[in-house]
Amino acid sequence: MSDNLVCIKDFEVHAHEVLSRNALDYYRSGAGQEETLIQNNRAFSRYKIRPRCLRNVANRDLSTTILGEKVSMPIGIAPTAMQRMAHPDGECANARAAQALGTVFTLSTIATSSIEEVTKSAPNVLKWFQLYIYKDRKVTTSLVRRAEQAGFRALVLTVDAPMFGLRLADIKNKFTLPPHLKLANFDGTKSTDINKNNEEGSGLNAYVNSLFDASVTWEDIEWLKSISTLPIVLKGILTAQDAIMGVEAGAAGIWVSNHGARQIDGTPASIEALPEIVKAVGNKVEIYLDGGIRDGTDVFKALAMGARMVFMGRPALWGLAHSGEEGVKKILTIIKTEFDYALAISGCANISDIKPSMVVHESYYSRL
């Protein structure tokens, strides 16, 4: 029963007990020695909330807009691959949960539920499509066309993955997609089989290296804009320089992310990278963040530091592993409630009441 699971950590512990080693290690692991994976979570504790008192917070509104569309809360679902390893309904259940909570769902290119299946399962969810650029541009073009036809409202271009990082757990496990599952967006094409080159290490890395285009540059964003009118969000930005270049290339949004600490170890935690990006382009485009969001106070801190929206990947997987759609709904409800409490007790009745001065780095107090 989920009644005894009252925070995201509880669901994570449960997922560790029920998922197969192959799936669990794929979902939870990071690159290298996983220092950045650890810091994604710990870095939030180094930022302190400065609550304001005696403000009227009796009536609160958690809603916001994202690329002009209203959502019930500034918390969305990040793209994660192969979700049917966590639950038979996979991405479809995740999308239905986002629909029920009135927030945005982002579908991974390498999903185990197709673009069309997700749309049929959750016809009213606000949905974005995460995209990689393949060596064969026809593959990418086809994915974009299908996403457009299915009513997706933005393309989330992952820019930090010319190849996938070295995830030691996947190499040790010789990670494979279970035989009853498939990369659903490529069913019937040569791009569907991630296990055929799995003699050494992770089958997923072999798949990526064989099909993803490591030669992609900023000029390819112009190409992507030429084939679609959907707004483009650049996911995987960690520096002000790249954020500026992204805006100059025509991005509608900058998604601060280190890919769940799965690409290269030793990068900053996402929340640590956020301030310089906000300073560089925060007045020009919307800025989003993922990586380490595990509590409503994390959401509050990210918004105070300039993010418009935060996204969660692994927590939704832990919800799926527990009870599919109901588990993800529980995860979203928990963090929404935690954020509501953080908002009220910090003296805010709505998102616009959250001010930059309300969150400071812990070093602020060592200087006093």
Hey, which residues are catalytic here?
Answer: 259
CB neighbours of 258 closer than 8 A, spacing ≥ 6? 36, 40, 160, 236, 238, 267, 268, 269, 270, 273, 291
Alpha-carbon Rg for the chain, nearest whole angstrom, is 20
64, 309 contact by CB (below 8 A): yes
CA distance 174 to 198: 7
Which helix H or strand E contains 158, and what residues bound it?
strand 155-158
Which helix H or strand E contains 281, and what residues bound it?
helix 270-281
342, 335 contact by CB (below 8 A): no
CA distance 222 to 13: 43
| Other beta carbons less than 10 A from residue 35's beta carbon | 15
Q: What is the DSSP string of 11-63?
A: HHHHHHHHS-HHHHHHHH--STT-HHHHHHHHGGGGEEE----S---SS-B--
- Helix spans in 193-262 (H): 203-211, 219-227, 240-248
